[in-house]
Structure 1
């Protein structure tokens, strides 16, 4: 568990941010959940979609850093009246210090300020700690479907909440 006092959260998008997010998702999800390259490709496609249609008035990317090193991220993608939560990640050595809760609170605050009516996210059945965080802030499991899209069989799960 990291105890740095130099952790900052920023919302501007800088060169290297999207690439680092793709890299971290690819490496960490392979190490922790045995996801394949197909998962990394899905992340790359989603980040490309986010950036090419990016509107800072109602979309946001939060980057958590420790002395300039990306240690976590989360983004809000506009889906009409609904905010989609995507690419929530905290490096293992920074978990358990409240950073995930902070990023999720920032997501909810921004979504409400933008007048979104609902929020949702897709995850998998393997991410127990993330499920706990999502449910703690008000998300409810609403859908499950089998998938092999991440390089192995698993269950994709959708969580929704009314804002």
Structure 2
């Protein structure tokens, strides 16, 4: 990569293409393994969620945001519909060199716009206490920490956290 990356150099698409699901599963497993020591169980968790998303996909209710730069996926976020006009935010990640340029804020803004356009009444997400930068983005949009629990689900001891946004 040459020079400083600008958020305007990154394109964001909202359609899935062949290879996207597998790549996103792979990058989540690799990135969270390398950066946080998560085990293969985390990659398996992501794979199960991606299968669930694709199986229930409804373009009027669900959305993906796939950030690309130089023909490479550099970020990902999805909104998955749940019952009773509730949305779940899942699998938000940015490659390390794309953090801090405003891309996360831009993707979060796109999420919130779609959430409102679809008239969802609330949204929630699960994360861990090891991701304070992501939590900051969620809090900025009005999400509040509503639940914390000790977990070994991803191959190490951590705290899973649930954030909720009500009255969108």
Q: TM-score range by the shorter chain?
A: over 0.9
SS in 2 for 1:35: coil
2:93 aligned residue: 89
Alpha-carbon displacement from aligned partner over 1:47-103 (angstroms, at most 9, x marks no partner):
000001100001001100002100000000001211100000000000000000011
SS in 2 for 1:70: strand
SS in 2 for 1:38: helix
Quote the Cα distance in structure 2 between the aligned partners of 1:101 and 1:156.
22
2:27 aligned residue: 24
Is residue 102 from structure 1 mapped to residue 106 from structure 2 by the alignment? yes
**Ranges in structure 2 where 5+ consecutive residues have no aligned partner:** none
TM-score by length of 1: 0.97
Q: Against the structure 1 CA distance between its residues 38 and 6, is the aligned structure 2 distance closer, same or farther, given a 3 Å change threshold?
A: same
Is residue 155 from structure 1 mapped to residue 159 from structure 2 by the alignment? yes
SS in 2 for 1:93: helix
2:143 aligned residue: 139
SS in 2 for 1:55: coil
2:116 aligned residue: 112
Aligned length: 163
**Ranges in structure 1 where 5+ consecutive residues have no aligned partner:** none
Structure 1 residues 42-57: aligned runs within 5 Å: 42-57=45-60
Asked whether the equivalents of residues 76 and 107 of structure 1 are also in contact (C-alpha less than 8 Å), the reply is: yes
TM-score by length of 2: 0.94
Quote the Cα distance in structure 2 between the aligned partners of 1:2 and 1:102.
18
Asked whether the equivalents of residues 2 and 97 of structure 1 are also in contact (C-alpha less than 8 Å), the reply is: no
SS in 2 for 1:151: coil
SS in 2 for 1:89: strand
